[in-house]
Amino acid sequence: MWTTQRRSANANKKTFKTSVKPGWYYFGRKMDTADFEWMMWFSTFREHILFALSGHVLFAKICSMLAPQYRSLVYMVYGLLAVWTSMGWTYITLILSHCILLYSISLVKIRWLCFVTGLCTLATFKCEPFVSWQAGFVEGDFELRHVLFYGGCGFTIMRCMSFALENCERKDGNYNILELLKYNFYLPFFYFGPIMTFDKFYVQANKSDLTRKERELWNISLQGLIHLGVVIVVDVLFHFMYILTIPTDMKLLKHLSDWALVGLAYFNLVYDWVKAAVMFGVINTVSKLDHLDPPRPPKCITMLYVFAETHFDRGINDWLCKYVYDYLGGKHENVVEELVATLCTFGVTILWLGPCEVVLFWAFFNCFGLNFELWTAKLFSMEPFASFEMAMSEAMSRRIRAIFNTFNFWCIVLFNVLALNSLDFAKLVAKRLLLKGFPITTIIVMFMTYCLIQVIKERERRQALIDDPDPLPPAPPPNAATSPTGAPAAPAAAQPVADPSKEKAE
């Protein structure tokens, strides 16, 4: 037993040695380097990424000034040259073969066939021996080879599927294969996303009017400066708070207090949201300079209290909603249709992320949470619950809903911590929060979360009233107050009037 503990301690020390490396030499601080994606973007290969994106912006601006009608073609040519320079011509051949395959299938205009072909093609990058065979098409041996190979191929398949499905919906003729190549080889989206569905890209990349709204350039510049500021703040935090490395040391985690452990789990999710917002934000800033309207950054994890809005990549989320979830689920009112839609959606997501134990657990819990929300809504829309809620005031109704949303919030946190860290870490946090920390830690954390959700709901209610104000009631007709005989009309039977602010808030 002592030998096992010693080996575990040595393994934990080895984890810290590999993840925590020298950082600020003059301050004597070491840096948390556990997140490969962040280090790749903003430390190890930032010069290469900055050079490639700067070249794209420069050539795109020149083309927009001289020949705006050919700008999408210039985007494609620059993207092809950049991919060829970084990965080699054999990799270009592999990508083109997948594009040609899915384009050929799209000409048949059979939706399910396009979908099955795309999923089968995507599966070839998740299982052997297809992965090794296709990886042999990449020339050279450099650190980014693995990331660029899977990123470029995976996003290519998803974009080709979007193109094929949109071509099936087109009534007159087919899209040109050149449009698919323009769409796929747009460099800012090629390796790292986000995914923009073909119908949106086609309209925006081919529009002739390139005039900008008032202060649009100023807003784009401000957005870029904000992202730069966030990168600096995260870099500072990595030298003082090792929130990514600590969850890998289970021996250390067992000595942390309940508050520290719960806070660590929450800040891991906040960091992942910040990373997604910044990485996609940098790419989105470049695409906005090209007069595109890319997918928005993901919704902040602190603002999430329903599973229906939980996502860290809005591009993938929009893709799944458009082609799977909304297509199969319809209005999302029927329980059976919703179950089929969510199962298919998370099935595609599992294939996209790569089937493994952690992904399967994450998909199961999130699929259950999404369906459980609909089951609960259906249950409470029936009698006698519906009458009870109508008899309540708006404030009381919102308080009761906030209680349920409080537990929902921590389910979302725990289910996603499972995917970001490990199953053992998620189990430890759940045990401390719900069992070992009960009642003090549990009640205090839930009460603070309840207050947070009340603030979020109030903010959303006010924003809804601003975005869609209630219309004024129509003026009564001039003779409505008297009957045809001139006598005062009898008062109409009282009708129950729903509170519009209550309906809008919900």
260-297 pLDDT, tens digit each: 999 999 999 999 999 988 989 899 999 999 989 998 88
Residue 355 has pLDDT above 80, yes or no: yes
Query: Mean pLDDT across the stretch 99-117?
Result: 94
Rounded to two decimals, the pTM is 0.84
What's the pLDDT at 498? 44
What's the pLDDT at 5? 38
CB 94 within 8 A of CB 155: no
Phi, psi of 332 (to 5 degrees): 60, 40
- Angle among Cα 418, 344, 121 to the nearest 5 degrees reads 95
What's the pLDDT at 483? 38
**Helices 89-106, 177-184: crossing angle, 10 deg rounding:** 130
Give CA–CA dist 194/151, Å, rounded: 11
Paired strand residues for 30:
22
The label of the residue with tokens 């005031």 reads: 393
- The CA distances from residue 363 to 40, 316, 368, in Å, are 27, 15, 8
Residue 484 has pLDDT above 70, yes or no: no
The pLDDT tens digits of the residues spanning 190-217 come to 998 789 999 999 999 988 778 888 888 8
The pLDDT tens digits of the residues spanning 287-345 come to 999 989 998 888 888 888 888 887 778 889 999 999 999 999 888 888 889 899 999 99
User: What residues contact residue 51 under an 8 Å CB cut-off, 6+ apart?
Assistant: none
The average confidence (pLDDT) of the chain is 84
Question: CB-based burial of residue 416 (10 Å sphere; 0-12 exposed, 13-18 middle, 19+ buried)?
Answer: buried
Residue 167 has pLDDT above 90, yes or no: yes
Query: Mean pLDDT across the stretch 485-494?
Result: 37
The label of the residue with tokens 């199969």 reads: 328
Give CA–CA dist 243/241, Å, rounded: 6
What's the pLDDT at 506? 45
Neighbours of 271 (CB within 10 A): 20
CB 185 within 8 A of CB 86: no
Q: Residue 341: which of 360, 330, 352, 325 has the closest Cα?
A: 325
Phi, psi of 334 (to 5 degrees): -85, 130
Per-residue pLDDT band at 14 (split at 50, 70, 90): low
What percent of the chain shows pLDDT beyond 70? 88
Residue 20 has pLDDT above 50, yes or no: yes
- Angle among Cα 279, 209, 217 to the nearest 5 degrees reads 40
The label of the residue with tokens 């029936």 reads: 382
CB 417 within 8 A of CB 267: no
What's the pLDDT at 139? 66
Question: CB-based burial of residue 452 (10 Å sphere; 0-12 exposed, 13-18 middle, 19+ buried)?
Answer: middle
What's the pLDDT at 492? 38
Residue 493 has pLDDT above 70, yes or no: no
CB 461 within 8 A of CB 505: yes
Give CA–CA dist 294/196, Å, rounded: 7
Neighbours of 443 (CB within 10 A): 11
* Length of the chain measured in residues: 506
The pLDDT tens digits of the residues spanning 34-43 come to 888 888 887 7
What single string gives the DSSP state of each residue in 348-373? Answer: HHHHHH---HHHHHHHHHHHHHHHHH
The pLDDT tens digits of the residues spanning 415-473 come to 999 888 888 999 999 999 998 988 899 999 999 999 999 999 889 888 888 887 765 55
What percent of the chain shows pLDDT beyond 90? 40
Q: Determine the straight-line distance between the first and last CA of the chain, rounded to whole angstroms.
A: 56
Per DSSP, 20 falls in state E
Lowest mean pLDDT among 45-54, 190-199, 229-238: 45-54
Structure tokens at 163: 């193109």
